[in-house]
Structures are given as C-alpha cells and as structure tokens.
Amino acid sequence: MNKTKLKDLYTYVYIDSSNIKNALKVSHRQIDWKMLFDYLKNTYKNLKVVNYFEGIDKADMGKTEEFKNLEKYGYKIKTLARKSYKNSPKYKTFKCQNCKEKNTVEILKESKTLKSNIDVYLCSELMGDLFAAKKPVHAIILTCDGDYAEMIRNIIDKNPNVYVSVFATPFTKYNNYLSVRLKELERIERYYLVNILNVRDKVSVPNGV
C-alpha cells in the first residue's frame, strides 16, 4: 500500500514528546504543536486521535497549563508522573606500583535519575487501540527511540490490517539520535520510516523563534 492510500486510512497518532523534541533540537528545530496538529488533520483525512505522551513532575503548574491548552486544541494528553531512581556510586580499585597496596577510589558519584516509563504507556495504548483492528488502520509514532521496535514488529506480525509510520529525524554522522533498530525495521512490510525534516516547515520552527 502506497503513501497516498495511507492518508485515507483511519489514523491514530502517538507522540513521544520528550524524545522527538530532543531529536529535533539536534537539528536546530522546535515543534510548533499547533502547526503539527493542523498538518496531521489536513494530511490524514480520517484522523481519529492525536495522543501526546509526556512524563511530568506533579508540582509543575506550568506544564499543567500547557497541557490544558494542547487539549483544547485537540490533543489527547497522556501523562505519567516522573519517579526518582537512585544510581549508586561506582568505585574502582587501583594497585599502587610502588607500595603494592590497593586503593579504592570513587569514580562516579551517587546520582538520581527521573523516569516516567512513557514508552511502556505508549506501547500499551497503541496495542489496545489497534491490536484487534478488523479494517486497515494507520499508526503514526513520533519518536527516535528504538525501544518501540519490538512492539511495532509484533503488532505488524499479529494483525495484517495495521500499517505503522515512524516520523523521526534521519540518521547521519552529525545526528545519530535515530535508533538503528527503527532503521532496521524498514525490511518488513507495512512499516514506513519518515524523515520528519522533510515536513519541518509544516510542523516546526527554528530554535529560538
């Protein structure tokens, strides 16, 4: 099925917002969310839903207001609270060449990582929406994250009615944000890797604008 026909299918959009924002930042672009929504609505005749996924801090009132505005414009907001994970310090033992004593040195300090498992949330939502589709449907995922590769392969294998397009920045020697696992999926049918920079003027603006 060619690209033109894909535009006629019922279309479900899943946006890994943090990932695609960071990927575009490397290309000196930032998404204009209203432009993106208008592009999707005008390009895909049977657009069913545009899901926006992001991890948030509960106390971030600015984000809450931003999400309300996106929801008013038409996005379906899907958020998860970020949780703090402790990374233990790392040590390495060195042997003194002169005295032969062993000395243990801290080479990486204890740190904290904030994570929300948005990728798991997105996968479960997509599978719930499309796994049992009885008519041809089109899923669009905005991401460069290879963690989605197995889910994409599985749903295409399990349901012949599902077509998947991934909108991502391209893999170049200057920008390797795109996971090789998403690139390798191009070998299978009903999967399309789309260079989001080809429509950058329709969905984004230069950084700082």
The model's confidence at residue 1, banded by pLDDT at 50, 70 and 90, is: very low
Domain 3-84+115-206: give its CATH code. 3.40.50.1010
Q: Which two tokens stand for residue 107?
A: 């080479």
What is the domain partition of the chain in residue ranges?
Answer: 3-84+115-206
Cα(10)–Cα(34) distance, rounded to whole angstroms? 21
Residue type, 100: K
pLDDT tens readout for residues 153-191: 999 999 999 999 999 998 766 667 899 999 999 999 999
Average pLDDT, the chain: 87
pLDDT at 74 over 90: yes
pLDDT tens readout for residues 97-152: 677 677 776 666 655 544 568 999 999 999 999 999 999 999 999 999 999 999 99
Of 78, 79, 74, give the one whose Cα is nearest residue 33: 74
* pLDDT for res 174: 63
Angle at 39 between CA 157 and CA 178, to 5 degrees: 50
Which of 9-23, 75-89, 164-178 is the most confident on average?
9-23
Host H or E run for residue 79: strand 76-81
Cα distances from 102 to residues 92, 108, 205, in angstroms, run 10, 18, 56
pLDDT tens readout for residues 24-72: 998 899 999 999 999 999 999 999 999 999 988 776 777 888 999 999 9
Model-level pTM greater than 0.75?
Answer: yes
* pLDDT for res 92: 74
Cα(75)–Cα(40) distance, rounded to whole angstroms? 11
- How would you classify the pairing of strands 83-87 and 111-115? antiparallel
Of 49, 55, 43, give the one whose Cα is nearest residue 17: 55
